[in-house]
Structure 1
Amino acid sequence: MIVQQTQNAFNDKAAQFILVPLGGAIAFSVESWATIMIALPFVLFAPLAGWLSDRFSKRDVMLGAAIAQLLILLWLCASIHIRSMELALCGFFALAVQSAFFSPAKIGINKELVGSKHLGFAAGIQQMMAMLAILSGQIAAGIIYDQRYKALGETPEVAWQAAFPPLVVLAALAVPAIFMAWVVPRTPAQGAEKLHGGILIQHFKHLGDLWRDAPLRQASFGVAFFWGFATFINLWSVKLAKVLTEGQGGFGTLSSWFMAAATLGMALGFGVASFLLRKRIELGWVPLAGVAMTVTALIFALQDPTGSLRLLSAAEISFHAVLKAALSPISGSFLWGLASLAFFAALFLAPLNAWMQDRYPPNQRGELQSAVNLQDCLIGIIAAAFVEGLVLIADMTGVETVLGYRIQLAIAGVGCGLITWFIIRLLPGHFVRVIGLSILRIFYRIRPVGAEHIPEKGGVLLLPSHVSWADAFFITAASPRPVRFVMDAIYMEKPAIRWFCTLFETVPIDLGKPREAMRTAAAALQKGDLVCLFPEGRLTRTGTLLPLKRGFEIIARQAKAPIVPAWLDGAWGSIFSFEGNRYFRKRPHRIPYGLAISFGEPIEPRDASISLIRHGILKASSAAVEARLKGWKRPEPRAVQANGYQLGQINALPRRQAIARLSDDPEIDALPSVATFTKLFKVKLHHRDQASPQDHCWVGGSKLRHSILALPPTQGAVPFYDFSPDALDPIDPPGWIHCPCLAVDGIIVAMSFPDPPKISPSCSHQPGSKPGTYGHLLPGFDFSEKDGITTLHGPAAGPDGLQLPHPLFVDDLGFVGPRQDPETESPGDSA
């Protein structure tokens, strides 16, 4: 489909740029008429073109358009052969009619071929290839015609001879385009309305259908502005080239180069847009591109559009002369300015086009696209008349010709600014978000994992872990859909926060009125939004998953919305997390810093429970670690790599500091992931001959336990991470903090650690340990239970999983310890 529409655009534009300089050579002004003739069929036949694309397979419409183009190009060849510009213009008009019927089919078929997920990327590629086809058609036609015209003698009589052979070649090129249209997959017809006379005059009905949908109406106005602006720049460039060459030799070459600069910039803009929209359609690029268009147009208006070109006579203008001038510091700035203006214009259009294609109802896709085309062409005609009016005013007032064209561009720049201001007011949240996320991506490399688990449409309740103050930004950057976050309404009392939350359509809830809060969140889901609620209700200061609060089950059931659990891997370590026992007041580990946001498999609302959601979040954490290992080239076994990374995701062993061990401790020698941890997180591992409270913290087994117990009492609180078989047997030597830990088959699965400090008296307590347990299960493990045996899963657990020794299990708070026997007297006895 892309190749076929590219060939169609090439033929169209090449034919135009043969007829335009031909008209100049025989003193028949074509450029203004050409603009009107291109736009008029979209006005006259818009309803019929839309009906055709909905009533029949869009692939069949494309095939018919390809056949029609071949016949019309043969008509043009005959017209030039008999030297009739009137008949040639009829053929030119017929090409525009063919385009009017081709356009809704080629645009409408995008979603039918690729769906919503890749629509932004596909639309950007389609527009980029169309622009490249236009560019190559302009350059080839203008330059070939000029070279033939000069070689034959530059007289009106030979102008016809210069035009005929290139048109014959275009007719030949139209033949393979028919075959390409034939092999496009045949999509089903979407409409059922039969042909009747009223369809021919349903312009305002279709426009009414378009305008009744307020977001579609506003987006269509933005698209119309682009085409009006593009028409202005197109006609402005051609007229400027005509002034510089006085319409004689070199006109085709110079106008082709001006248009080539604009078209190449536009093609590059569409290419960049397809990359930016590859994950989701982001409307925030529209106002940002509008700002860039405004600034570029106003700066561009200050540039001299002639430069060294002004020093060339009409006879000297050639491909090589213009290329040399384009590389000069004088005129080169003009051509680069033209390309930059077109680049930002394409970035302005692409998100709007993709968003509208996604929003069209399937059975009206052709009709609504034709209504958009009609609107675009009406604006194009107005823009062409506007240019002619400005030229007339300049002539009447005696303004120097080139200065007049610079004033025209300045007026266009002011128009861009006014439209952009309106769009920013209309889409402030999108505008701020795209700027914020662009800045965020400078400092963070955010990798989404399992994004396909988020349904493309409908309400979805997202339940992620809550690790840092920037989690909302990280999730927004990773999500394929816009996210609305739930926030306690008490924070909305502050004007700055209220403005920010209103901007991003935050869902405010009153935690003092739980029933009303749940109804508010459910209403947002019923609207079809992706709503994010942090089920822990607070930031973790341990790095592990905190107990989940109830309420989300009722919200999901009321809204009948699926639940997607999620894990923010790597957020522990961001300056916005509590890693290092403080927020913000620490330097980044690296820039850019890598994060993986893992989205788990959807859970049906009827199945929602705290236990199931907790398992879903833990499973997402293991998927995130698995994704992080991809691309690593380290010597350690995969399980050891994963386990060493997991050790850095909790508030236990410190990053970028030092830890100590005994030189001949066999239980630590059996844990290779400790050494991997030190390499991954820039930790110094000191080997000591005996225990000493001078070191920051210690890791060890039975030998270290005995060494510490033999020491005299000391001041301080040095953590001792105990991996010995007797770790659950508590010891309490003065100056030391005993932290039981568990390793199974050389893989560390759980660790206790000192309770993290509170940042304020009102902060809730978050324990780093629990009596009678080995501490928290490390992030990156999920687990299952069968016949009383708990099996851990995740990259560190290996393909077959890692069984915990009986009777160990993972409790509801995430601590690993022995299952309580009702007949035992204490956890210690049970152990």
Structure 2
Amino acid sequence: MDPTRSSTPDAEHPNQFSLLGQRRFAPFFWTQFLGAGNDNLFKFALTVLVTYHLQSDLLPPTLAGLVIGALFILPFLLFSATSGQLADKFDKARLIRLVKSLEIAIMAFAGWGFVAANVPVLLACVFLMGVHSTLFGPVKFAYLPQHLSERELTGGNGMVEMGTFVAILLGSVAGGLLIAIPGTGARYAALACVALAVVGRLTAHAIPASPPADPRLRINWNPVSETWANLKLAHANVVVFRSLLGISWMWFFGAVFLSQFPAFAKEVLHGDERVASLLLVVFSVGIGVGSLLCEVLSRRHVEIGLVPLGAIGMSVFSIDLYFAARGLAPAASLGVADFVARPAHWRVMVDLALLSLFAGLYSVPMYALIQMRSAPSHRARVIAANNILNALFLILSSLGVGVLLGFGLTIPQVFLVTGLLNAVVAGYIFLLVPEYLLRFVAFVATRVVYRFRVRGDANIPVSGPAILVCNHVSFADPVLLMAASPRPIRFIMDHRIFRAPLLGWFFRLAKAIPIAPQREDPAIYAQAFERARAALADGELVCIFPEGAITRDGALGEFKGGVMKLLETHPVPVIPLALQNLWGSFFSRAGGKAMSQPLRRGMFSRIGLVAGAPLAPHETSPGALRERVATLLAS
């Protein structure tokens, strides 16, 4: 955890919406919201202006959207590396205020361009607003983990993601409506852009100080070498880097749909431009709802088990969108009322809403994971690497869609290919980073198989080495502990479990450490402690079941001395844990043999985990640990 991060009791922030009443989040949220809204008001107003109202040889209407989008993305490729360094070196609140002051100047220049109908000036402002967003991006995502705890990070990211898409929607709608006002539309659009920039600067003034992560950093102004350095820096943490690729893929996926809404509405759904706007509304609302659901479903932890769930939903509903859009009856250009009145179109809207909802479930935990697992000293540079990859994937998305359409595929077929490709890419990422898959299994088990209640989970540290000690009731114990922990756990487990076909594969994937009794296999016994010590030296959590085996009678057995062997060389905190009400479940040995009587207690049976306060190494002994776990079991 950052030493600079604010700490607030849970009672003061019962859910993500309560963050809007706190200074450490609210001014930042509204500054981000206003900036995203202004970006899109300006870009959409310009697109409508050159498409419908202003003939320009420099920017033909057919190329307007493509050119404006490319000019806006270009700075992300050129300057993200530099902006990441600035965000690590300087106070983030100060940088945000400088960036928002720059926005006022850019929007004043753009306002003159609107009034004068000067297309070159407006295009220059698109590029400058891209620079503005490039500078703001690393600051934005590095700011959150500096001010929010691990339990708030998912909710905070969900709020920002929701706010961004709502701002994009409102900005686009406002830009289109203002620029269309006869005679004075350009003037109103100009005033709106400047007004939003000024209000954004005022909200930025209330953002609290955010001390620099690496004030001694020397800025490398060469964008090429620094871009490569940022990518290498991100690649140093495999889980973080592959999560960056996962987020970039989400932007690729979303861009396919967003870019095709106008043509999809006109050519496939037979609707007018208002139907295209309706599709954008449905998509944006879906993203917002999915983003907000993350905190509820994750129980206020960074729950990356939601990522595979999101990927599944993205594929299922994009594939179903292909079938929903096939064979729609030809019609004249439909308005919104006529479009909504046709039952066949509801399936299309439901598919769009759900695929975007699952995209929200997919992206928010990934952002939170990157923020939590990146070293604070270079977190902003890792975020800058993310922005570079996002820009590259957006370009690849445009090229890919162009190639598919060039080969004669219809727009629904493009959606089908994207959904199938998403399944392949997601599966590949989850095999490369099995932690996502493991957490998904734990997520499903604790919400479908059981009703799982966790108490005292704040005692499980979010950073640094520690030993977890727990009673051993069933074969499902490690899965339940995975679900309760904010980060991966290295389990020390009986080597015979690894022989089971499915369980053995699962625990090998989880990098569990096999152990055998010393008298049975001294080599495996010694190697287990060697690997556990290496994990502690790397700052990981190690869990040991000191009873040595799953209980056969439901009673708490005697604790052996394995914990003490680890503490001899690595004196780290020891956290006692107690699993409650698992005896008699399908995975326990009640009745003689585990996993022999399906649905022994039915679905959704109540179980619990209690985490006690950490014990210092000098306070720890097998007897003291057993007594502490017994007390937790009875609580």
Query: What secondary structure is seen at the aligned counterpart in 2 of 1:485?
Result: strand
Matched residues in 2 for 1:88 and 1:244: separation? Answer: 33
Per-residue CA deviations over 1:14-61 (Å, capped at 9, x if unaligned) read: 222222222220353211112212210111211221122122111111
Kindly state the Cα deviation for residue 456 of structure 1 after the two structures are TM-superposed: 1.6
244, 247, 261: which one aligns with 2:282: 261
353, 360, 364: which one aligns with 1:346: 360
151, 161, 169: which one aligns with 1:127: 161
Q: How does 1:387-786 map to 2 (within 5 A)?
A: 387-391=401-405, 393=406, 404-428=410-434, 430-511=436-517, 512=520, 513=522, 514-572=525-583, 574-577=585-588, 585=597, 591-622=603-634, 625=635
User: Is the 8 Å Cα contact of residues 556 and 562 (structure 1) preserved in structure 2?
Assistant: no
Structure 1 residue aligned with 2:37: 10
TM-score of the two chains, using structure 2 as the length reference: 0.85
Matched residues in 1 for 2:499 and 2:581: separation? Answer: 32
Structure 2 residue aligned with 1:47: 81
Matched residues in 2 for 1:369 and 1:342: separation? Answer: 23
Kindly state the Cα deviation for residue 406 of structure 1 after the two structures are TM-superposed: 2.2
Matched residues in 2 for 1:421 and 1:77: separation? Answer: 47
Kindly state the Cα deviation for residue 100 of structure 1 after the two structures are TM-superposed: 0.9
User: Is the 8 Å Cα contact of residues 117 and 456 (structure 1) preserved in structure 2?
Assistant: no
Q: How does 1:209-228 map to 2 (within 5 A)?
A: 209-228=233-252
Structure 2 residue aligned with 1:140: 174
336, 343, 367: which one aligns with 1:322: 336
Structure 2 residue aligned with 1:32: 66
Structure 2 residue aligned with 1:165: 188
Per-residue CA deviations over 1:477-520 (Å, capped at 9, x if unaligned) read: 33333333222223334444432321222110121225444334
Query: What secondary structure is seen at the aligned counterpart in 2 of 1:202?
Result: helix
Find out whether 1:311 has 2:322 as its counterpart: no
Query: What secondary structure is seen at the aligned counterpart in 1 of 2:577?
Result: strand
User: Is the 8 Å Cα contact of residues 228 and 382 (structure 1) preserved in structure 2?
Assistant: yes
Structure 1 residue aligned with 2:116: 82
Kindly state the Cα deviation for residue 173 of structure 1 after the two structures are TM-superposed: 2.9
Kindly state the Cα deviation for residue 8 of structure 1 after the two structures are TM-superposed: 1.1
Residue identity matched to 1:565? P
Residue identity matched to 1:259? L
Find out whether 1:381 has 2:395 as its counterpart: yes
Query: What secondary structure is seen at the aligned counterpart in 1 of 2:473?
Result: coil
Matched residues in 1 for 2:394 and 2:189: separation? Answer: 28
Structure 1 residue aligned with 2:311: 290
Per-residue CA deviations over 1:772-793 (Å, capped at 9, x if unaligned) read: xxxxxxxxxxxxxxxxxxxxxx
Structure 2 residue aligned with 1:94: 128
Query: What secondary structure is seen at the aligned counterpart in 2 of 1:601?
Result: coil
Structure 1 residue aligned with 2:229: 205
Residue identity matched to 2:613? E
Residue identity matched to 1:293? M
Change (3 A) 1:418 1:77: same
Kindly state the Cα deviation for residue 610 of structure 1 after the two structures are TM-superposed: 2.0
Kindly state the Cα deviation for residue 547 of structure 1 after the two structures are TM-superposed: 2.0
Larger of the two Rg values belongs to structure:
1
Kindly state the Cα deviation for residue 65 of structure 1 after the two structures are TM-superposed: 2.0
Structure 2 residue aligned with 1:235: 259
Kindly state the Cα deviation for residue 179 of structure 1 after the two structures are TM-superposed: 1.9
Kindly state the Cα deviation for residue 110 of structure 1 after the two structures are TM-superposed: 0.9
Matched residues in 1 for 2:73 and 2:108: separation? Answer: 22
Change (3 A) 1:506 1:201: closer
Matched residues in 1 for 2:427 and 2:475: separation? Answer: 31
Structure 2 residue aligned with 1:332: 346
Residue identity matched to 2:162? M
User: Is the 8 Å Cα contact of residues 128 and 271 (structure 1) preserved in structure 2?
Assistant: yes
Matched residues in 2 for 1:54 and 1:459: separation? Answer: 26
Query: What secondary structure is seen at the aligned counterpart in 2 of 1:72?
Result: helix
Change (3 A) 1:86 1:621: same
Matched residues in 2 for 1:274 and 1:169: separation? Answer: 34
Matched residues in 2 for 1:196 and 1:217: separation? Answer: 22
Matched residues in 1 for 2:601 and 2:152: separation? Answer: 35
TM-score of the two chains, using structure 1 as the length reference: 0.66
Per-residue CA deviations over 1:145-173 (Å, capped at 9, x if unaligned) read: 55x3xxx4xxxxx5xx3343144234223
Per-residue CA deviations over 1:347-368 (Å, capped at 9, x if unaligned) read: 2222222212222222222222
Kindly state the Cα deviation for residue 588 of structure 1 after the two structures are TM-superposed: 5.4
User: Is the 8 Å Cα contact of residues 454 and 564 (structure 1) preserved in structure 2?
Assistant: yes
Change (3 A) 1:348 1:330: same
Change (3 A) 1:507 1:81: same
Residue identity matched to 1:311? A
User: Is the 8 Å Cα contact of residues 484 and 507 (structure 1) preserved in structure 2?
Assistant: yes
Residue identity matched to 2:385? A
Which runs of 5 or more residues in structure 1 are unaligned? 153-157, 626-831
Kindly state the Cα deviation for residue 589 of structure 1 after the two structures are TM-superposed: 5.6
User: Is the 8 Å Cα contact of residues 467 and 568 (structure 1) preserved in structure 2?
Assistant: yes
Query: What secondary structure is seen at the aligned counterpart in 1 of 2:324?
Result: coil
Matched residues in 2 for 1:587 and 1:202: separation? Answer: 57
Change (3 A) 1:364 1:306: farther
Residue identity matched to 1:119? L
Matched residues in 2 for 1:177 and 1:219: separation? Answer: 31
Structure 1 residue aligned with 2:4: none
Matched residues in 2 for 1:520 and 1:212: separation? Answer: 21
Query: What secondary structure is seen at the aligned counterpart in 2 of 1:598?
Result: strand
Kindly state the Cα deviation for residue 144 of structure 1 after the two structures are TM-superposed: 5.2
Matched residues in 2 for 1:219 and 1:478: separation? Answer: 21
Kindly state the Cα deviation for residue 599 of structure 1 after the two structures are TM-superposed: 1.0
Matched residues in 1 for 2:77 and 2:444: separation? Answer: 40
Query: What secondary structure is seen at the aligned counterpart in 2 of 1:220?
Result: helix
Matched residues in 2 for 1:193 and 1:485: separation? Answer: 38
Matched-pair identity in %: 25
Kindly state the Cα deviation for residue 594 of structure 1 after the two structures are TM-superposed: 2.2
Change (3 A) 1:467 1:243: closer
Matched residues in 1 for 2:551 and 2:237: separation? Answer: 44
Change (3 A) 1:596 1:304: closer
Matched residues in 2 for 1:377 and 1:55: separation? Answer: 24
Query: How many residue pairs are counted as aligned between the two chains?
Result: 594
User: Is the 8 Å Cα contact of residues 561 and 604 (structure 1) preserved in structure 2?
Assistant: yes
User: Is the 8 Å Cα contact of residues 227 and 376 (structure 1) preserved in structure 2?
Assistant: yes
Matched residues in 2 for 1:242 and 1:587: separation? Answer: 52
Residue identity matched to 2:539? G
Change (3 A) 1:245 1:331: closer
Change (3 A) 1:561 1:73: same
Query: Which of the two has greater strand per residue?
Result: 1
User: Is the 8 Å Cα contact of residues 463 and 563 (structure 1) preserved in structure 2?
Assistant: yes
Matched residues in 1 for 2:472 and 2:269: separation? Answer: 66
User: Is the 8 Å Cα contact of residues 244 and 386 (structure 2) preserved in structure 1?
Assistant: yes
Matched residues in 1 for 2:592 and 2:83: separation? Answer: 65
Query: What secondary structure is seen at the aligned counterpart in 1 of 2:222?
Result: helix
Per-residue CA deviations over 1:36-95 (Å, capped at 9, x if unaligned) read: 122101112112211221221111111122222223222222212112222222222222
Query: Which of the two has greater helix per residue?
Result: 2
Query: What secondary structure is seen at the aligned counterpart in 2 of 1:302?
Result: helix
Structure 2 residue aligned with 1:643: none
Structure 1 residue aligned with 2:370: 356
Matched residues in 1 for 2:65 and 2:179: separation? Answer: 16
Change (3 A) 1:413 1:123: same
